[in-house]
Structure 1
Amino acid sequence: MAKQKLRPKIVKLCKVVGGLTGVVNKIDENAPEYYALASILTDEEADVAIAAGLRKERPLEYLVKKTGMPEKKVKELADHLAWIGVFRVTTNPVTKKDQYFMQIFAPGIMEMLVNNQELLKTHPEVGRAFEEYTRIRMANMSPMMPNGYGLMRVVPVESAIQDIPKAHDYDKLSYYINKYEKFSVSPCSCRASRRTLNDGCGHLEEDMCIQMGKGAEHYIRTGRAREISRDEVYEIIKRAEDNGLMHDMPNIEEAGESAAICNCCACSCFGLRIGLMYGARDMIRSNYVAKIDETKCVACGQCVENCPGNALKLGQKLCTSEPITPPEYRKMRDSLWTKKDWNPDYRENREDVAETGTAPCKTACPAHIAVQGYLRLAAEGRYRDALALIKKENPFPAVCGRICNHRCEEECTRGNVDEAVAIDEVKRFIADHDLNAETRYIPPMVNQIGKPYPQKIAVIGAGPAGLSCAFYLAEKGYSPVVFDKAKRPGGMLMNGIPSFRLEKDVVEAEIDILKEMGVEFRCGVEVGKDVTISGLREEGFQGFYLAIGAQGGRKINVPGEDVKGVVSGIEFIKEVNLGSGTKLSGKTVVVGGGNVAVDVARTAIRVGSGNVEMYCLESPGEMPAAADEVEEAAREGITVHHSWGPKEILVKDGKAAGIVFKKCTDVFDENRRFAPQYDEDDTITVECENILLSVGQSIEWGALLDGTKVELNKNGTVKADPLTYQTGEPDIFAGGDVYSGPKFAIDAIAAGKEAAISLHRYVQPGQTLTMGRDRRNYRALDKSSALVPLDCFDADKRQIPGYNAAKAKSFGDTRTTFTEEQVRKETARCLGCGATKVDGYLCVGCGLCTTKCEFDAIKLEMRTDMKPVQAGTFETIPIKVAGHVVKKVGKIAVKNGKKLRK
């Protein structure tokens, strides 16, 4: 394609709008301001815009005089420029006539171009131009700008500064809101631009930017926004804060003047990018900085995950044998800044945890639940708040309080002193409030638009992964439909775990909460057989989550295993749970050494087998089953025989009559890979009537994937992205056991939440699956160097749950829930390892962190007293900045000189 000739009038207009910086900016066909305007303006419109000049209120008569065009013509052109977004049009309060104002490119014209949704649809290049302009032009400007001079400035959450006596009116949103009478709300222009580039972060644009006064009048008149009341303004601001969005305002007028409030996310906002990508934190920051009270902080992580500037990180509270010093790094304010100092990947490389690590319990949990946080809340008797905090990561605390393999306890620092805190028992006590309809916690819907999303999402599989995904989708405002071929939802929670470990009314109670949140269940429907994925697409479903679990058993591949009397342990438990009347008589041998094998053995006793023995490959130290479950089996008379593998099943009259085992000499090879070795000559024969095989689980796909591009690995698990869980079919995601292979419920629950994040992004136009996404890379503190407080030795011993002997060998749960007194004693044993750390330089003082803390542990303090643009206007910025640059260069020179002398 031939290179197009530059249009001189568009070039001139770009220079005019660019102000002093526009004089030095190179304007060619690739300049974002040029191609944006050249694609939508005529030369006559450019003439009218040039005549108006920059940032002056111009009546129609002035434009007529300057252009020499007929009044009717100028009126048409000026009104069209206002509709496009080059002009702001308002009514002069004195003359009652229209007046026109041409703002700078950003904040100003670029936003108004993008906020013209009809224009953006037909000219998507204006969205690209907005992104490029704010990236390219700000790069050179950012190192020169002092605190208080950014073209956009952060305004703190008002509740965070309401108790600060010296807080100025111009630092409070209410000052501006109460000052004006006319308000409007429009889509966020930054996010709209990102959407057109298919570069969105999952934060959506609708109803996010608020205009006031003249800005509102213009936006309403030109169809960019809808008029709202003052009360609606406050509602939108509160909703923004609930969704983790901070407040930003144009900073080009005198103190106390502004026409807009932006509710921004750091992962899409072009104004905040100046601080995050280029490192110009001083340019955008407010007058305030966050401070942590470590005595109150419990490292729950809510402030950290919501901090737009990544200034907060989870660290440790415990003292160490070697002092921890914060890492040093270059800062723009005292360095000659170059491109090498930029952080171009700031949307993907944020860190939640300090280099020295944080609380091991939160780190070890696959869902990274705020263990330290809910223990503190429970200690204070705030059980409902504790339940709410747990459900931010785990919708099924009552279930997990009974069956979790509690990796948090395995890593608990308290275990280095005496015994780990009984975290799961406390969780069970808290979560039992969910079993009562009067006390259960149902989270409110939290999304940016304040109403449900219409997109249809199908979850296939009603086990822990699918239910977790559905829960977080519903919390976000979707109404997911969960399909399951079983007659009731719950998956392995209902069918694969015996009731003496997980009573089914517990599962049903937590599923009832999903129903109340708007989740629809279609049970008895096998996708791939009764309905297909392509058929569901025709019904309007836009996203799918495959979470059918690993509900099949595995064979042991020895002679005789297909005869009567040899049954998969998984199928055996499923039949018992479904109430099929399964009975066993005689001796039963269970092959396997995992938790499921223990469940199978204990179930066999309960359905009539008088003698149950387990045989496994592993030695006692290698056996994968949890120690407490093995102890419960022993209490019921079940014997475990170690280091034996099946060789042959003996058959008599077509039925199993016994099993031959061979000695297992090694289970793993030198790389700890499963590779059992046997002594074929060392065998034993065990006579029995029943053989239950529990040597692993398999995924039964059926016809579910027929007609899709989803691929499987050799072991039958699905191929999917490890961060987003997206498969080879873009609208299909997968997680839980079908992705990872058989794991624990908490692993599936964690995967389900991540899938919900991906599905939200996928079904919303123009959103990426990765940009601005928290990778949640946790690392634990070094327990070996931690110094525990001396008073921890005064705490009570670990509390032990009671045992209900009346339920022994029945299908009732013999374990009793802690009493309130036990909870009080147990929570007092927590050492409180973690605490949030603030990097004061990175903190821009938005105050969002204060809205997320349930412990009153973080507050804002005033650190500067800078007025907006230092009580000047846009026109005064270049002169004032020049003086700042001279001073900065001088200070750096002196600093470097001192270093050289040293």
Structure 2
Amino acid sequence: MTIDDCGLRSRVVMVGITLNGNACEAEEGATIISAAAANEVYIPSLCSHPDLPPFKDLPLAAQVFHGETCYANEPLSEDESANASNPQSSIVNRQSEGCGLCVVEVAGLPEPVRACQTPVTAGMSIQTESEALKELRRTNLMQILARHPHACLTCAQREGCSLEDCSTNVPKEERCCPKFHNCELRKVAEYVGVKEQTPRYRPAGLPVLNEEPLFARDFNLCIDCARCVRVCNQVRGVEALGIVHNAGRLIVGSVAPTLTDSGCRFCGACVEVCPTGCLTDKSTQTGDREHWLLPCVHTCPAGLDVPGYIRAVAAGDFKAAAALVWEKLPLANMLSHICFHLCEAECRRSEIDDPLAICALKRFALEAGDGAFLEDAVKPPETGKRVAVVGAGPAGLAAACFLRFKGHAVTVFEAAQSPGGMPALSIPKYRLPQAVLDKDLAVIRNLGVEIKTGCRLADGAAMADLLGKGHDAVLISVGLPSSKRIAVEGSHLERVFWGLEFLSGAKAGQTFDLGQQIVVVGGGNVAIDVAMTALRLSGGSVRLFCLESREEMPAHAHEIETAEAEGIEINSQWGPAAILDEQGRVSGVEFRRCLAVFDQQRNFAPTFDEQQRMTVAADTVILAVGQAPPQGIPGEQDGVFLAGDIVGGQLSAIHAIASGRAAAERIDRHLGGDGVVSLRPSDQASPKAWIGREEGFAPRARVPLPCAAPEQRRTDFREIERTYSAEQAMAEAKRCLQCDLRLMIAEPAAPPQRWLELNHSNVEQVPAVEGVFILTGPDKKPTVIKGMENIQAGLLERLESATEAGFFLWEEDRMYTKRESELIQQHLEQYGELPGGGDDELDDLF
């Protein structure tokens, strides 16, 4: 289907054409290169890209910059005007047709044409692989390589080369860039062929710009394909890049000396489409690109679509934003208030200035889009299966939600009189008002989850016994409900409290006579909450002491800063030696200097300087040094599952919810489901590629989050952080780089690999010689790379062992061990793992 000028869908017209003698169909008006790709015929190109308009349609800029060097657009000389082969193009000179590698022959036309700009017509007969075309492509490639480092392309030792130490002593500036082993230009050049007459590259000494955020630019590697300009200007609409005609050639650059001044939105689209190492990410990692390109998503234990809901907030579609949050996050309102937002520390915007206020935007979206989730949720049919969940904390309630959305009946058993677990019982109201948690509990109940409070089960055996009492599966998620106790002299004294019990009592309204000098022992988030709660209850001075250094403290930096803003004193690297008393009541604490908390194996093994001690006066001591699990919890067994803090890991609500989701997946598979659990709101439309130009985008500061003043909030339990207004939220959301859009850019067609189906007929054609074979599955990602004395015998052995591999490649090489290592090294650089995903052979390899 196509869209006409009125926005109406019109019918796609298919026409018959002939490609390399084979009759096929193509969309009328499509370019030859796209029609060939649709029919699985490869045509090489470096300027063409499936998501970009043709090279010839690109208008020239008035000027561009390579750093401080300005190149103005110059009129064509008389010779260039006379030789212009495409007078209708915006770009008219010898490069006006692009790279020239996509030339094809069309029957009835006297000269080859460019497949990237020539539309197909009914009955067209096209030849893509004649000897004349191959020679023409090699000649055109030679002109490109004359201005690009290429010594490594023809080096006999290029496979597996580190590109650092050159055995043939080629000067570094003439070698290929670090992208060489995964370079599109290299792949195309190896397919087309490099002519022996290709002149030696002469370094031009162009700028290499590394000072700006996120991206590096090396203009010595630019081949003027203008992909970056087209994606920036014609696909994204940002117009931060341009191209000019200067001194007889085309020059690509930014429209101002810096990317920031050029209006760049740092979306990364230009890097994504660059076929060389001219534009690169400054910070890259091996392995899954999505993980390091979308750190906000992959740092989030719940895997929230962070760019998606932030984009919806920016557009003013708060209902859609709320639905995207609920899709992966039960107890969403609670999390928007208490999550430690690890995602913000990894936000790529922080490399420009400050990270996005991801958690604050989530909170706004949920409040502004209230009720959207239930309205749009799609509920599956009932399965007839019943699940018992023991513990109504974040893990248990999350699992209950996900399982209910798979059609299973769920009953949650909670020992306390109200559900919510530790957040309900112990997290202070200044972080989590009860009304916020009540919203989430209402959603859960409305989904059909039954919650039974005041149901205390005697022990782990009683919990597991639920399996035989009308339930098809049992999930135990009872958390860590009590404080970890440490042996410290004086801990029995009056006015010595334990962290969790103190917080639970304070939240339940219990009164405490704390005096005016309170000492808190512990360095985690519970200890911070204890200190801030004690401050509010006493109005006195609160001093916190912990074993860890400031950098090692388990408490999140934001929580520590919040406490210090209220006047709480943080003393790091001190451990309690004894709690002192006077007539049976606390009078102080003796501390000793902690030299190290962990041993060399990172085991908890604090060491102290016994000679360095100090005594601190205290009326009350509160010990908040960890949490302890209940005794007698069984391990996972058939039909009995565990989730949450009792299985270990990081003690936070978001990690507990992620654990609950993982448990729900296991339970659903156990009950005969597919294990794909999700709260499914209505489908969201795919985001638009066009983001437009916004002046002053990069220097735009983070919108401050409204907060109660420290001197006011320290006297009561009013909520510290407040919610953005709609205007503030939209302004903050518009700072997002929208990194996810980059992953939606299609990959350009790669030269075909000569994969053979793994069967007896093909293996019997392989000679019994020394060499290397590569096995892959249907996705053509190598699973085995193996060098052998007899590659035919090795392939037959794999074939007869019922391997899952479906395709193979082979090459003869007497130095097969060395070649195997080279190919594995290439695989590691591309995928970040050994073939098949394992790492057992890494030591052998190196």
Instruction: Report the TM-score, using the length of structure 1 for normalisation.
Output: 0.49
SS in 1 for 2:736: coil
Matches within 5 A, 1:52-131: none
Does structure 1 residue 549 correspond to structure 2 residue 479?
yes
Aligned pair in 2 of structure 1 residues 621, 792: CA closer, same or farther (>3 Å)?
farther
Of residues 743, 747, 753, the one that matches 2:651 is 743
The answer as to whether partners of 2:467 and 2:639 remain within 8 angstroms in 1 is no
SS in 2 for 1:818: coil
1:797 deviates by: 0.7
Question: 2:737: which partner in 1?
Answer: 831
SS in 2 for 1:391: helix
Rounded to whole Å, the distance in 2 between the matches of 1:364 and 1:541 is 35
Matches within 5 A, 1:649-728: 649-701=579-631, 705=633, 710-711=634-635, 727=636
1:663 deviates by: 0.5
The answer as to whether partners of 2:464 and 2:474 remain within 8 angstroms in 1 is no
Matches within 5 A, 1:372-383: 372-383=307-318
The answer as to whether partners of 1:801 and 1:815 remain within 8 angstroms in 2 is yes
1:535 deviates by: 4.5
SS in 2 for 1:532: helix
Aligned pair in 2 of structure 1 residues 607, 839: CA closer, same or farther (>3 Å)?
same
Whichever residue aligns with residue 753 of structure 1, its letter is: R
Question: 1:576: which partner in 2?
Answer: 506
Whichever residue aligns with residue 329 of structure 2, its letter is: N
The answer as to whether partners of 2:425 and 2:504 remain within 8 angstroms in 1 is yes
Q: Between Structure 1 and Structure 2, which shows a larger proportion of helix residues?
A: 1
Whichever residue aligns with residue 654 of structure 2, its letter is: I
Matches within 5 A, 1:481-520: 481-520=411-450
Question: 1:639: which partner in 2?
Answer: 569
Question: 2:706: which partner in 1?
Answer: 802
Whichever residue aligns with residue 454 of structure 2, its letter is: G
Does structure 1 residue 391 correspond to structure 2 residue 331?
no
Q: Deviations over 1:318-369 (max 9, x none)?
A: 444994789xxxxxxxxxxxxxxxxxxxxxxxx9954784311111111111
Does structure 1 residue 817 correspond to structure 2 residue 723?
yes
The answer as to whether partners of 1:563 and 1:655 remain within 8 angstroms in 2 is yes
Question: 2:304: which partner in 1?
Answer: 369
The answer as to whether partners of 1:485 and 1:524 remain within 8 angstroms in 2 is yes
The answer as to whether partners of 1:591 and 1:614 remain within 8 angstroms in 2 is yes
1:451 deviates by: 2.2
Aligned pair in 2 of structure 1 residues 320, 572: CA closer, same or farther (>3 Å)?
same
The answer as to whether partners of 1:611 and 1:638 remain within 8 angstroms in 2 is yes
Aligned pair in 2 of structure 1 residues 529, 593: CA closer, same or farther (>3 Å)?
closer
Aligned pair in 2 of structure 1 residues 654, 397: CA closer, same or farther (>3 Å)?
same
Whichever residue aligns with residue 360 of structure 1, its letter is: P
SS in 2 for 1:376: helix
Whichever residue aligns with residue 804 of structure 1, its letter is: A
Does structure 1 residue 616 correspond to structure 2 residue 546?
yes
Rounded to whole Å, the distance in 1 between the matches of 2:664 and 2:534 is 38
Whichever residue aligns with residue 364 of structure 2, its letter is: F
Rounded to whole Å, the distance in 2 between the matches of 1:836 and 1:294 is 12
Of residues 523, 533, 549, the one that matches 2:463 is 533
Rounded to whole Å, the distance in 2 between the matches of 1:671 and 1:753 is 31
The answer as to whether partners of 1:503 and 1:813 remain within 8 angstroms in 2 is yes
Question: 2:578: which partner in 1?
Answer: 648
List alignment gaps of at least 5 residues for structure 2: 1-7, 15-233, 238-265, 278-285, 679-691, 751-806, 812-846
Of residues 516, 541, 547, the one that matches 1:586 is 516
Q: Deviations over 1:636-691 (max 9, x none)?
A: 22111121011111133333322110001223344544432210110011121211
Aligned pair in 2 of structure 1 residues 763, 355: CA closer, same or farther (>3 Å)?
closer
1:756 deviates by: 1.5
Question: 1:93: which partner in 2?
Answer: none
SS in 2 for 1:640: strand
What's the % identity of the aligned pairs?
Answer: 33
SS in 2 for 1:621: helix
Whichever residue aligns with residue 404 of structure 1, its letter is: C
The answer as to whether partners of 1:645 and 1:662 remain within 8 angstroms in 2 is yes
Matches within 5 A, 1:180-579: 295=236, 317-320=268-271, 323=274, 353-354=288-289, 357-433=292-368, 439=371, 441-442=373-374, 446=378, 450-528=380-458, 532-533=462-463, 535-579=465-509
Question: 1:279: which partner in 2?
Answer: none
List alignment gaps of at least 5 residues for structure 1: 1-161, 169-292, 297-314, 327-350, 712-726, 775-787, 843-891, 897-902
1:481 deviates by: 0.7
Rounded to whole Å, the distance in 2 between the matches of 1:534 and 1:677 is 41
Of residues 757, 767, 772, the one that matches 2:665 is 757
1:596 deviates by: 1.2
1:825 deviates by: 1.2
Rounded to whole Å, the distance in 2 between the matches of 1:840 and 1:165 is 27
Does structure 1 residue 165 correspond to structure 2 residue 11?
yes
1:533 deviates by: 3.1
Rounded to whole Å, the distance in 1 between the matches of 2:493 and 2:609 is 26
Alignment coverage as a number of residue pairs: 476
Rounded to whole Å, the distance in 1 between the matches of 2:474 and 2:494 is 39
1:634 deviates by: 2.0
Q: Deviations over 1:221-256 (max 9, x none)?
A: xxxxxxxxxxxxxxxxxxxxxxxxxxxxxxxxxxxx
Q: Deviations over 1:258-282 (max 9, x none)?
A: xxxxxxxxxxxxxxxxxxxxxxxxx
Question: 2:642: which partner in 1?
Answer: 734
Whichever residue aligns with residue 725 of structure 2, its letter is: T
Aligned pair in 2 of structure 1 residues 773, 386: CA closer, same or farther (>3 Å)?
closer
Aligned pair in 2 of structure 1 residues 801, 554: CA closer, same or farther (>3 Å)?
same
Rounded to whole Å, the distance in 2 between the matches of 1:691 and 1:388 is 45
Whichever residue aligns with residue 815 of structure 1, its letter is: E
Which gives a bigger RCO, structure 1 or 2 (Cα 8 Å, sep 6+)? 1
The answer as to whether partners of 2:388 and 2:473 remain within 8 angstroms in 1 is yes
Instruction: Report the TM-score, using the length of structure 2 for normalisation.
Output: 0.52
Rounded to whole Å, the distance in 1 between the matches of 2:733 and 2:290 is 28
Aligned pair in 2 of structure 1 residues 691, 761: CA closer, same or farther (>3 Å)?
same
The answer as to whether partners of 2:352 and 2:698 remain within 8 angstroms in 1 is no
The answer as to whether partners of 1:550 and 1:742 remain within 8 angstroms in 2 is no
Aligned pair in 2 of structure 1 residues 650, 459: CA closer, same or farther (>3 Å)?
same
1:814 deviates by: 2.4
Rounded to whole Å, the distance in 2 between the matches of 1:518 and 1:352 is 41
SS in 2 for 1:752: helix
The answer as to whether partners of 1:317 and 1:832 remain within 8 angstroms in 2 is no
The 10-residue stretch of structure 1 (469-478 or 648-657) with the greater mean CA deviation from structure 2:
648-657
Q: Deviations over 1:745-792 (max 9, x none)?
A: 11111111122122122123xx687xx899xxxxxxxxxxxxx99966
The answer as to whether partners of 2:405 and 2:677 remain within 8 angstroms in 1 is no
1:841 deviates by: 8.9
Rounded to whole Å, the distance in 1 between the matches of 2:360 and 2:354 is 14
Rounded to whole Å, the distance in 1 between the matches of 2:720 and 2:452 is 33
Aligned pair in 2 of structure 1 residues 740, 535: CA closer, same or farther (>3 Å)?
closer
1:456 deviates by: 1.0
Rounded to whole Å, the distance in 1 between the matches of 2:292 and 2:592 is 46
Whichever residue aligns with residue 426 of structure 1, its letter is: L
Aligned pair in 2 of structure 1 residues 472, 394: CA closer, same or farther (>3 Å)?
same
Aligned pair in 2 of structure 1 residues 574, 730: CA closer, same or farther (>3 Å)?
same
The answer as to whether partners of 2:528 and 2:555 remain within 8 angstroms in 1 is yes
